[in-house]
A and B are shown apart, each in its own frame.
Chain A
Amino acid sequence: MTDETATTTDVTGTGSAATDMDVAGADVTGTDVAGAAGTGGGRSADGDGAAGADDVLVTVEGLEVHFPIKRGIVLERTVGYVYAVDGIDLTIRRGETYGLVGESGCGKTTMGRGLLRLVEPTGGRVVFDDTDVSTLKGETLRKSRRRMQMIFQDPLSSLDPRQSVESILVEGMRAHGLDSGKESTRARLVELLDSVGLPESALHKYPHEFSGGQRQRIGIARALAVEPDLIVADEPVSALDVSVQAQVLNLLEELQQRLGLTYLVIAHDLAVVRHISDRIGVMYLGSLVEEASSDEMYAEPMHPYTKALLSAVPVPDPTVEDEREQILLTGDLPSPANPPTGCRFHTRCPWKQDTLCDTDRPELREVGDGHRVACHYAEDIAAGRITRHEVEPELVHPDT
Chain B
Amino acid sequence: MSILSTRKAEKIDSLAEGGTSLAMDALRRTFRSPVAILGLVIVGLFVILAIISPFIAPKDPYRPYPELKAELTPSNIPGPMPGFLLGSDQNGYDFFSRLLVGAQQTLFVGVFATLIGVAVGMIIGGLAGAFGGWVDSVLMRLTDIMLSIPSLLLAISIAALLPGSQWTVIIAVAMIGVPVFARLLRGAMIAQRSSDHVLAATALGVKRKTIVFRHMLPNSIGPVIVQATLTLATAIIDAAALSFLGLGDSDWRRAEWGLMLGNAQELLSVKPSLAFFPAIAIIIVALGFTLLGESMRESLDPKNRR
A and B are partners in one complex rather than unrelated chains: yes
Chain A residues with a Cβ under 8 A of chain B: 7-8, 10, 12-13, 74, 113, 116, 118, 142-146, 148-150, 152, 154, 157-162, 164, 171-172, 175-176, 194, 197-199, 201-202, 204-206, 208-210, 214, 219, 222-223, 226, 247, 254
**Other-chain residue from B13, B22, B207 in contact with A142 (beta carbon distance below 8 A):** B207
What residue of chain B has the Cβ atom nearest to residue A210's Cβ?
Answer: B12
Cα distance A216–B292 when bound, in Å?
37
B205 surroundings in chain A (CB, below 8 A)? 142-146, 172, 175-176, 226
A12 & B18 in contact (Cβ 8 Å cutoff): no
Cα distance A366–B206 when bound, in Å?
40
Residues of B in contact (CB 8 Å), total 37
B204 surroundings in chain A (CB, below 8 A)? 145, 149, 171-172, 175, 222-223, 226
CB distance from A257 to the nearest CB of B (A): 13
A74 surroundings in chain B (CB, below 8 A)? 141
B22 surroundings in chain A (CB, below 8 A)? 161-162, 206, 208
Cα distance A12–B192 when bound, in Å?
13
What residue of chain B has the Cβ atom nearest to residue A250's Cβ?
Answer: B1
Q: Is B157 an interface residue (CB 8 A)?
A: no
Cα distance A118–B13 when bound, in Å?
37
A175 & B20 in contact (Cβ 8 Å cutoff): no
A118 & B199 in contact (Cβ 8 Å cutoff): yes
CB distance from A29 to the nearest CB of B (A): 12
A-B contact count (CB 8 A): 116
B202 & A204 in contact (Cβ 8 Å cutoff): no
CB distance from B93 to the nearest CB of A (A): 51
Cα distance A214–B7 when bound, in Å?
12
Cα distance A108–B8 when bound, in Å?
34
User: Besides the contacts A142-B207, A149-B203, what 9 more A-B pairs have beta carbons closer than 8 Å?
Assistant: A12-B132, A159-B197, A161-B197, A175-B204, A197-B1, A201-B13, A214-B8, A223-B204, A226-B204
Q: Is B200 an interface residue (CB 8 A)?
A: yes
A205 & B12 in contact (Cβ 8 Å cutoff): yes
B8 & A7 in contact (Cβ 8 Å cutoff): no
Cα distance A247–B132 when bound, in Å?
41
Q: In chain B between 206 and 265, which residues have their CB closer than 8 angstroms to a CB of chain A?
A: 206-207, 210, 214-215, 218-219
What residue of chain A has the Cβ atom nearest to residue B18's Cβ?
Answer: A205
